Structure 1
Amino acid sequence: RLSEVTDWKVLLLEAGGEEPDLADVPAFQPFTTNSHLNWYYESVPDSRFCGGKSCAFTTGKGLGGSSLHNEMMYSRGNRRIFDMWEKMGNSGWAFKDVLPHFKKWENNSDPSIAQDTEYHNIGGPQNVGWFPYQDRNVQPLLEAFQEVGYQEVDFNGRNQTGVMRAQFFQKNGARQSSNHAYIKPVRNVRSNLKVITNVRVTKVLINPVTKLTKGVEYVWEHNKDRKGKVFANKEVIISCGAINSPQLLMLSGIGPKRTLRSLGIRVMQDLNVGYNFQTSIKSGGIDLILPDSQAMMPSDEDVLQGILEYYKNRQGPLSAEGSYQVTAYIPSRYASPFEDLPDLQFGLLPKITFLDATKPDQEWPHIIPYSYYNRISVQPYDVRPNSYGYITINTTDPFSPPLIYPNFFSAEEDLNVLIDGYNFIAKKLSKTKALNNLGIFLDTTPVPECAHFYFGTDSYWNCLSRIYNETSQRYGGSCKMGPSSDRSAVVDPHLKVHGFKNLRVVDASIMPIYVNANTYAVTLMIAEKGASMIKDDWLK
């Protein structure tokens, strides 16, 4: 967007590499997540969650960031949350203000949804739409949620509560990352845009007297002895994500002064960098077992046919993500009954279990394409978390990973919401005629770590939540947006870092309150709005 101004020269520095062709295949999401496209961050171990071990914090590395391997689902978040942003002093960030920026990037390829022009658009750079392939389990899952009282909705429209065959960031059966949508079409066309990959920015250069940002220092990713500096005439814009942006700010002297001084880093500005960090909390460990008639277990010939069909026409099982196409937003007992602001989302993750009479059950959920499965892991997500974590550093080495303290379940309400989600699955969803008439039933075998509790009790769900909880590739809040009167804020409503005239953060880290949704759509909105504000500031 910035390179649309032909008089400006824009330099994009990316720590990762180019986007591989493999990332295009929707069903290959498990492969791309477990590849060089991931920073492979982990949290500091905590006995309260993730079984007392480190939680994996998957985040994207490469042109396109996490859109290279996220689950691609299009979900904006609830309008009331954006209105809360404005009430916190962030003028211009109410839902009525951000909706045009959501619509600006959207090219909705499904006419039945695109016709709702109040909420949707065609013609933007980023395509969204239903997967071209719908397997035999999608419709029964939709009907199961409807059977227990939830209507089929467009949760990016007027109402969020309900079930939906979700739209995804794909075009003609192929993943459309932000690299595909924004960078590739103009990279070799606009002479004023330069993109350099495999370069890690290690420090923002700041004049300590004037507080003007001069440029950045960088190191080549594969040759740490090769270093350099780049200088900016207008601004430095940090878009490293909710984990890496706070790390870079702190390495540059912007952050909690106590942390910086302990590492010998000169304090440029004492700000609450790294705090207010949140992510939706999800948990697994509970499966629907599919009979042979519903299982998507192909023969070798079927697999070969699926590969040929995909690469010839971008059709067939590999052009979709199996049962994950269905998702639902519902309120737990702890959500307000008087407003459409759900705090639970349900993910229906395809999963394969291979059974061998001579061995224990072997589950391979991450190395098989999402197209093929004989179980569905039904995962409740707490999408309105009350627990806050933080990101910090304990070294000046930019190649050392930041320390992640998610503090899951520090607010007991979050645990209660997940327990409510499990009860919904076990007592309602899994007992619907839509599923049971097809021979789909809940596996009530206790997991070994929680077998000392009765399956289906709140004590069992409590145990399961703490052992099987995971992160969800949806992070935000660590460079909180707020007015200067908010001492916990890092950037102002124009996304400028407090105390600096020409340094901005433009990514999911600026969210003052976490959105109850997948974060890619809102990150695109933040980027579109940020680009518009930068243009307004310099061209007015």
Structure 2
Amino acid sequence: MKLNFLILSLIFGVKCSNDDNTVDDDVWSSTGTKKGKLFWPYHESVIDAIYNTAKHGPKKNIGNYFDFLRDPYGLPPGLSSPLPEYDFIIVGAGSAGSVLASRLSEDRNTTVLLLEAGKPEMLLTDIPAMAPYFQATDYTWQYYMEPQPGVCLGMENQRCFWPRGKAVGGTSVINYMIYTRGRPQEWDRIAADGNYGWSYNDVLEYYKKSEKAKLDGYENSPTRNKDGKMPVEFVQRRTKLIKAFLEAGKLLGHPTIDYNSPDELGFGHVQVTIENGHRQSAAKVFLHKHKNRRNLHILPESTVARVLIDAQTKTATGVEFIRKGKTHVIKARKEVIVSSGPIASPQLLMLSGIGPKDHLISKGIHVIQDLPVGQTLYDHICFPGAIFELNTTGVTLSENRALDLSSIFSWLRDGDSDLASPGAVEGIGYIKTPVSSDPEPIPDIELISIGGSILADGGPGGSKAVRKGMRIREEVFNEAFGPIDNKDAWSAFPMLLHPKSVGRLELKDRNPFSHPRMYGNYLSDPSDVATFVAAIRHIQALVATEPFQKFGARVYPANYPACRSTVFDSDEYWECAIRTLTATLHHQIATCRMGPVGDPLAVVDPELRVHGISSLRVVDSSVIPRTISAHTNAPAIMIGEKAADMIKDSWSANKKVYRYNNK
């Protein structure tokens, strides 16, 4: 019990005593209240350090408060430093890298080194409701898109924030845990481009391999699996608003279904990688139980500076990395596998001499292979500002109601409280708007139904974690939503699934600790704007139905400073609003694009081998060549599963060590 109270003290700011070990009776009562209110003083807790970094950047020592709660990783007993050589070196312990390391090390005769720049996860990251809080910590790469006129107008410095996970487990440690796979036609198109082995039926087997579904009967479908490793469940804590969303969907022709089914489009309860109310990251599922394998060495807080490549033979031979101020050079007997994600993977390739020739030369980098690394970038963006007031109170998820002592203890005891909600996401709906020109049944918008809105993050006296996590400027938020801040409201975020606008990524310089320059090129194609506006009209049609009108739902006329010259609810108003609150869903892809030999945009082949370089692969979501109707965590896990089998097949013939040649 003392340990639990200590944990609560550190996490939630409970003040047990002052410096002389006596209770401060003037401030704190024995019932855990302050000034007559149930205790939850973010502004006086360690959590405050998380919020305060939003404007000033992450502080190196934030996580040190919680080191004793972290899942420890390291070298086996008796080893003070890594081995000089491994069969496989994997760079990045994200969703794909964690799977890959686990699967390759199943063979006890195969040695695997897994390098990760971030730290291990800990108790706080287990709490689904804490997802937005970690956007401003050192569990996150604090990436910002380069300034682009006409987007992110309401964000700090008018720049779009692109947080990525920096942890053992990668972005699966900080994301909203949503499990989606993409439509069959999308994967079949990827295969038809010459990417053999990537049709829907091909990838389905690997989605199933990972999955341990518990979905009220959906798990019995032939496209699902209940015997894998990664838990996939429904969120158990629900508001009445999800029922309204599903019923309104039915009235507009959207059946309530397993939205991951290949058979039809529809709406459904959100499926998440949560078990018993606790986040299930890729590290927890695929690494935690196996971290004591003597052939699997996991080194957190290790930054890889470059892949070592023999310029004459064009063969990857190892890596150079920095850990605790010391530089290490480790050799790979078989392969180096880059699994650092859609931003860090292309950055590492370019630092290693693989990328656009002219760009590398301009940065003083010796060119080993001229490839279009980083020249294609797609992202899913959303609009969180379509908010509908309700005349009914107490029906939404709210920080002020959820984060009290009873909820905390309930979650600690059995995972059963509002803390188990993944950022209040309750439902997913796929729609095809009237402006879509796709001849196949592929949606162009995903609707993310929230059991509340971005107003529910505590209001003026609360944490404001969601709005801070998105980097919305306080003055913009207050002018737009101040009169209804922290009041009951509903929203659905429309997510643009197939943007026509294409971005790119390039190096800032040759320093491995510098962030690359990222150009999202958001909304540069007019059809993307038209699709967003059509999605908002569809949300309004949902709200106009009887299930939502039971709550008196009506659109709130947000007063955006940049949009005052437009007429509220006109198409021009909504375009301006979208350009004000332009938010990423963290689904960047295609920066190390997959394609066959001869594809001028391809970086890796269908077996994820880097074109022209032997013994080097990229295994993460950066290889996905086309936009898909999916949040990218599940696809990244699938890619890790599929890559593990491809790599094993490459080296299985008589267990003969050889180097393939992909020139």
The alignment's TM-score, normalised by the length of structure 2, stands at: 0.77
CA distance in 2, matches of 1:333, 1:448: 30
Structure 1 gap ranges (5+): none
**Equivalences for residues 294-443 of structure 1 within 5 A:** 294-297=395-398, 303-321=404-422, 323-336=424-437, 338-349=439-450, 350-351=452-453, 353=455, 364=464, 366=466, 374-426=488-540, 428-443=541-556
CA distance in 2, matches of 1:373, 1:171: 30
Note the C-alpha offset of 1:351: 3.1
Note the C-alpha offset of 1:323: 4.5
Aligned equivalent of 1:251, options 339, 351, 356:
351
| Kept in 1: contact 2:133–2:465 (CA 8 A) | no
Q: Indicate the SS of the match to 2:236.
A: coil
Aligned equivalent of 2:247, options 122, 137, 143:
143
Aligned equivalent of 2:336, options 226, 236, 240:
236
Structure 1 137/303 Cα, relative in aligned 2: closer, same or farther at 3 Å? farther
Partner of 1:99: 204
| Kept in 2: contact 1:352–1:373 (CA 8 A) | no
Output the amino acid matched with 2:192.
K
Structure 1 133/300 Cα, relative in aligned 2: closer, same or farther at 3 Å? closer
Partner of 1:280: 380
Structure 1 129/439 Cα, relative in aligned 2: closer, same or farther at 3 Å? same
CA distance in 2, matches of 1:525, 1:479: 17
Structure 1 401/195 Cα, relative in aligned 2: closer, same or farther at 3 Å? same
Partner of 1:57: 162
Note the C-alpha offset of 1:339: 2.8
Structure 1 256/296 Cα, relative in aligned 2: closer, same or farther at 3 Å? closer
Q: Indicate the SS of the match to 1:397.
A: coil
CA distance in 1, matches of 2:146, 2:438: 36
| Kept in 2: contact 1:353–1:361 (CA 8 A) | no
| Kept in 2: contact 1:382–1:417 (CA 8 A) | yes
| CA RMSD, 1 decimal | 2.3
| Kept in 1: contact 2:402–2:418 (CA 8 A) | no
Note the C-alpha offset of 1:148: 2.1
1:176-200 CA distances to partner (integer Å, 9 max, x unpaired)? 0000110001111x11000000000
Which has the greater radius of gyration? 2
Residues 1:201 and 2:304 aligned together: yes
Q: Could you tell which deviates more after superposition, 489-498 or 440-449? A: 440-449
How many residues get paired?
530
Partner of 2:116: 14
Output the amino acid matched with 1:15.
A
Note the C-alpha offset of 1:352: 5.6
CA distance in 1, matches of 2:368, 2:644: 26
| Kept in 2: contact 1:444–1:455 (CA 8 A) | yes
Aligned equivalent of 2:619, options 482, 493, 506:
506
Aligned equivalent of 2:178, options 53, 73, 79:
73
Note the C-alpha offset of 1:149: 2.0
Q: Indicate the SS of the match to 2:334.
A: coil
Structure 1 194/450 Cα, relative in aligned 2: closer, same or farther at 3 Å? same
Aligned equivalent of 1:159, options 228, 238, 263:
263
Structure 1 504/111 Cα, relative in aligned 2: closer, same or farther at 3 Å? same
| Kept in 1: contact 2:223–2:261 (CA 8 A) | yes
Output the amino acid matched with 1:145.
G
Q: Indicate the SS of the match to 1:452.
A: coil
CA distance in 2, matches of 1:301, 1:355: 10
CA distance in 1, matches of 2:311, 2:362: 19
| Kept in 2: contact 1:355–1:361 (CA 8 A) | no
| Kept in 2: contact 1:236–1:503 (CA 8 A) | yes
Note the C-alpha offset of 1:493: 0.5
Aligned equivalent of 1:214, options 317, 320, 324:
317
Q: Indicate the SS of the match to 1:413.
A: helix
CA distance in 1, matches of 2:461, 2:121: 36
Structure 1 447/378 Cα, relative in aligned 2: closer, same or farther at 3 Å? farther
Q: Indicate the SS of the match to 2:121.
A: coil
Q: Indicate the SS of the match to 1:376.
A: strand
CA distance in 1, matches of 2:403, 2:145: 40
Note the C-alpha offset of 1:136: 2.9
Note the C-alpha offset of 1:300: 7.0
Q: Indicate the SS of the match to 1:310.
A: helix
Residues 1:130 and 2:234 aligned together: yes
Residues 1:36 and 2:155 aligned together: no
Note the C-alpha offset of 1:365: 5.3
The alignment's TM-score, normalised by the length of structure 1, stands at: 0.94
Q: Could you tell which deviates more after superposition, 511-520 or 175-184? A: 511-520
Q: Indicate the SS of the match to 2:308.
A: strand
| Kept in 2: contact 1:160–1:342 (CA 8 A) | no
1:92-117 CA distances to partner (integer Å, 9 max, x unpaired)? 1111111101100001012411010x
1:156-187 CA distances to partner (integer Å, 9 max, x unpaired)? 11235211101100111111000011000111
CA distance in 1, matches of 2:627, 2:403: 42
| Kept in 2: contact 1:134–1:322 (CA 8 A) | no
Q: Indicate the SS of the match to 1:98.
A: helix
Note the C-alpha offset of 1:301: 9.6
Partner of 1:515: 628
| Kept in 2: contact 1:474–1:519 (CA 8 A) | yes
| Kept in 2: contact 1:335–1:341 (CA 8 A) | no
Q: Indicate the SS of the match to 2:141.
A: coil
Note the C-alpha offset of 1:346: 1.2
Residues 1:87 and 2:192 aligned together: yes
Note the C-alpha offset of 1:264: 1.3
